[in-house]
Chain A
């Protein structure tokens, strides 16, 4: 059955087993499905293999600098918060070869590395994650230049949204306006309803191909009551978030470059770069050259970099941001303030990863609120 484009948002109800069926339906269509799995006591994203099933009954407790996987004792599919590593590493891998060159007897040959288009399915991306991908889309295609590697992976990517039935302990998407509900940017959206009537998945198609795939999965039409259950649940999830970013944070940070709080946070910040690495929108990279010992070949590669490294701001004569104070200020100002000038919106989607995965638990929301509270 092919739905009309304007009809594809009709909701259906699936049994919980429908989630794995959906993965397999995507695989049958030739997609490599990148889905959550449990590895080393953590939720990871990896290609769903022939013997895999989606994890059930897992949740997590998170705090600044702390993450523990927990068991729920039931068979909920999506009770854990966003996976520690987002889909950024799938679409924008940590290392990419840009080109190779080879020296022959009489000349230098440049061997470009072209990436074949990939058919990836990003399964169980949360609302904040899809918003982050929308940000990366703008970064890697600014109208003048589109990054070929990124788009080779991104262009055909099939996106399955999962709306959160529980907020992670460090999440603040509600105050960033990025979640937990989402109405666009996906091919299929799933909302798990648990503990209120039968355990079920509310499924909506967000594209024609999404509707086609959904039609292959056993299910039944959703009712207005199911839609109400979803809305109520998502409102509760949003209300449960303890962290809130101040609404006018962009202006507040811009007005306070010399605030005393920068010194206080610099005392604690390790300039380790973990926050930027786990951030789903941090896109900075550097290029590195290497050559073979016999100097017959050379490679130019791109790898993730961070504004927390000293080499990041190295220019002739030294590093512009030598102190931890200036590096922390750069990070949070870019995410929450200067990003608006560059890309017309905030660069933070409120996923909370930078808080959880900071080894000393520095909290971007706490820092922003502290500066707002005693703003110049």
Chain B
């Protein structure tokens, strides 16, 4: 092992902080390695700030104003590895619902002083702005995957974060398929595994928090939803949630826009 401790920074952009909180939730595990890494920046946990460069930057949130886009590019320059964490950083987040809509109108409706608001018309994933070394999916990210990625980095091995469908998690756990046995729509067949099978294991269809799996066939799944009784508006809304700006989901939602 290197004598110098690896420097870890955690950065936040447009987001709810939920992913960082999941990192805080790992405190027992992280305490065990407090001696082997240096937390250089992590505002949820400490006020101490250490100047770059950083070995690893975990980046949470999406880009929704020019200032953030610039800040992100600086972080990239100062970091050996950048890991985008969570649905905002990897798929635009719920705030990407504004993409393609009238943002000025939203601002006028929501804020008492719209003149103070400086925002872009879109919320876009970190991955649209800078190259990243790894994406950790989820809204929020899974504590176990987060720890897995950190331990893989420390050990210099590949993180064990498969890109296959959520269905495999169902079958390995022995969860009864809600689509087949209950006729409920479920995004699992087009969603990347990793959540730990949260929704199907309590008889709910997958909401797609972990974003598109590799080669997602959203059109075939959406056609099945329609054929089994889902309304077109509902199908559109299913693809317009936490990962609304992930290209595969955005494209599928677009296919169901009223014309």
Within residues 244 to 303 of chain A, which ones have a CB less than 8 A from any CB in chain B? 267-274, 277-278, 288-295, 298, 303
Q: Considering the complex, which residues of chain B in the window 155-198 have a beta carbon less than 8 Å from any beta carbon of chain A?
A: 155, 157-158, 160, 162-165, 167-168, 171-174, 176-177, 179-183, 186, 188-190
Q: Tell me, yes or no, whether A222 is within 8 Å of chain B by CB.
A: no
Other-chain contact of A291, B32, B155, B221 (Cβ < 8 Å): B155
Give the shortest distance, in Å, between A273 (CB) and chain B (any CB). Answer: 5
- Tell whether, in the assembled complex, residue B189 and residue A270 are in contact, meaning their CB atoms are under 8 Å apart: yes
- Interface check B220, CB cutoff 8 A: yes
* Chain B residue at minimal CB-CB distance from A310: B214
Interface segment among B39-47, B75-83, B145-153, B249-257: the answer is B145-153
Expressed in whole angstroms, the Cα–Cα distance for A259 and B161 within the complex equals 35
Q: How far is the CB of A318 from chain B (nearest CB, A)?
A: 12
A298 to B155: give the CA distance in the assembly, Å.
10
| Shortest Cβ gap from B26 to chain A (Å) | 9
Closest to A291 in B: B155
A356–B221 CB distance below 8 A: no
Residue among A66, A270, A277, A298 making CB contact with B172, cutoff 8 Å: A277
A291 to B157, CA, bound (A): 9
> Is B29 an interface residue, CB under 8 A from the partner?
yes
A312 CB, nearest partner CB in chain B, Å = 9
Q: Does A309 contact B (CB under 8 A)?
A: yes
Q: Which residues of B contact A41 (CB under 8 A)?
A: 176, 181-182
Mask, B1-34, CB within 8 Å of A = 1, is: 1000000000000000000000000000110110
Q: Is A194 an interface residue (CB 8 A)?
A: no
Is A150 in contact with chain B by the CB < 8 A criterion? no
A68 to B203 alpha-carbon distance, docked (Å): 15
A214 CB, nearest partner CB in chain B, Å? 31
Interface status of B108 (Cβ within 8 A of chain A): no
* Chain A residues, Cβ within 8 Å of B167: 272-274, 277, 359
Contact A268 B162 (CB under 8 A): no
Contact indicator A293/B29 (Cβ below 8 Å): yes
Q: Are A359 and B168 in contact (CB under 8 A)?
A: no
The answer to whether the Cβ of A184 comes within 8 Å of any Cβ in the partner chain is: no
For residue B223, give the distance in angstroms from its CB to the closest CB of chain A.
8
In angstroms, how far is the closest chain A Cβ from the Cβ of B164?
Answer: 4
**B217: Cβ under 8 A from any A Cβ:** yes
- A324 near B215 with CB under 8 A, answer yes
Of A42, A272, A309, A361, the residue contacting B176 (CB under 8 A) is: A42
A40 to B154, CA, bound (A): 42
B interface footprint on A91-118 (CB within 8 Å = 1, 0 otherwise): 0001100000000000000000000000
Are A269 and B217 touching (Cβ within 8 A)?
yes
Given B29, B165, B176, which contacts A270 in the complex, CB threshold below 8 Å? B165
Q: Which residues of B contact A323 (CB under 8 A)?
A: 215
Is there an interface contact between B155 and A272, defined as CB atoms closer than 8 Å?
A: no
| Contact A274:B155 (CB < 8 A) given known A66-B183, A67-B180, A288-B160 | no
Q: In whole Å, how far is B224's beta carbon from the nearest beta carbon of chain A?
A: 5
Collect the chain B residues with CB atoms within 8 Å of residue A94's CB.
Answer: 171-173
B36 on the A face (CB < 8 A): yes
CA distance A306 to B181 in the complex (A): 22
Query: CB distance B164 to A273 under 8 Å?
Result: yes
The range of chain A's interface size is: 35 or more
- Name the one of A40, A289, A308 contacting B157, with C-beta atoms under 8 angstroms: A289
Q: Does chain B have a CB within 8 A of A304?
A: yes
* Contact residue among B164, B172, B180 (Cβ-Cβ distance under 8 Å from A357): B180
For A68, the chain B residues whose CB sits under 8 A away are 181
A53 interfacial by beta-carbon distance below 8 Å: no
- Bound CA–CA A272/B165 (angstroms): 5
Q: From known contacts A68-B181, A269-B220, infer whether A290 and B160 are also in contact, taking CB-CB under 8 Å.
A: yes
A84 at the interface (CB under 8 A from B): yes
Most buried by B among A40, A65, A271, A292: A271
A311 to B215, CA, bound (A): 11
The complex places the Cα of A288 from the Cα of B164 at a distance, in Å, of 14
A277-B172, A294-B32 given; A360·B220 CB < 8 A: yes
Nearest CB to that of A286 among chain B residues?
B162
Q: Is the CB of A273 within 8 A of B165?
A: yes
Smallest CB separation, B143 vs chain A (Å): 12
A155 interface residue per 8 A CB criterion:
no
Instruction: Find the B residue at minimum CB distance from A290.
Output: B160
Measured CA separation A288–B180 after assembly (Å): 30
Taking the closest CB of chain A, its distance from the CB of B186, in whole angstroms, is 7
Given contacts A270-B165, A311-B163, contact A290 B148 (CB under 8 A): yes
Q: Is A322 an interface residue (CB 8 A)?
A: yes
Shortest Cβ distance from residue A274 to the other chain B in the assembled complex, whole angstroms: 5
Q: Which residues of B contact A309 (CB under 8 A)?
A: 162-165, 168, 214
Question: Taking CB as reference atom, which chain A residue is nearest B181?
Answer: A67
Cα separation A269 to B220 with both chains bound (whole Å): 7
Known: A268-B220, A269-B220, A304-B171. A295 touches B155 (CB 8 A): yes
Report how far A30 CA is from B147 CA in the complex, Å: 41
In the bound assembly, the distance between CA atoms of A268 and B216 in angstroms comes to 11
A85 within 8 A of B: yes
Q: Is A89 an interface residue (CB 8 A)?
A: yes
A98 to chain B, nearest CB (A): 14
A residues with a Cβ closer than 8 A to B are 40-42, 44, 65-68, 84-85, 89, 94-95, 267-274, 277-278, 288-295, 298, 303-304, 306, 308-311, 322-324, 356-357, 359-361
Binding site for A on B (CB under 8 A): 1, 29-30, 32-33, 36, 147-148, 150-152, 154-155, 157-158, 160, 162-165, 167-168, 171-174, 176-177, 179-183, 186, 188-190, 203, 214-217, 220-221, 224
The 8 nearest A-B residue pairs measured at CB: A277-B171, A94-B172, A272-B189, A270-B189, A309-B164, A272-B167, A272-B165, A310-B214
